[in-house]
Amino acid sequence: MDDCIFCKIVAGKISAQIVHQDKSVLAFRDLNPQAPVHILIIPRKHIDQISSMEEADLPLLGDIYGAVKTIALQEGISETGFRVVANNGPDGGQTVGHLHLHLLGGRLMHWPPG
């Protein structure tokens, strides 16, 4: 998608601190971190949000969660714990229309979220 900021990161047109990549997934540090570790994990393929996924896209969720496990180990937060967040649509607080998970760690998370 030409006007999608995360597609531009996938294409290398915008720089990002990439921490992990494979054939279907890219992960990079959030521009506005909310925790000592704050990484966004996205499919290379443009999908607007979870609720617009098609059945054929569902295996990507396994790839994305596999990346979460790998990155948590890499970042040293696998044992201490972490939170995974997916904002979906306006009420979910989604601001970038390319499906992504937030991986947050390195501090104690509180509940309920705001």
The stretch near ligand DGP (CB under 6 A) out of 63-71, 73-81, 92-100, 103-111 is 92-100
H or E stretch including 103?
Answer: strand 101-105
The stretch near ligand DGP (CB under 6 A) out of 50-58, 60-68, 69-77, 87-95 is 87-95
Binding residue for ligand DGP, selected from 1, 18, 31, 73, defined by CB under 6 A? 31
Count CA atoms closer than 13 A to 11's CA, side-chain side: 11
7: left (phi over 0), alpha (psi -120 to 50) or beta: alpha
Q: How many CB atoms lie within 10 A of CB 5?
A: 15
Shortest distance, CB of residue 48 to ligand DGP, whole angstroms?
Answer: 11
The yes-or-no answer on residue 100 being catalytic is yes
List, by residue number, the catalytic residues: 100
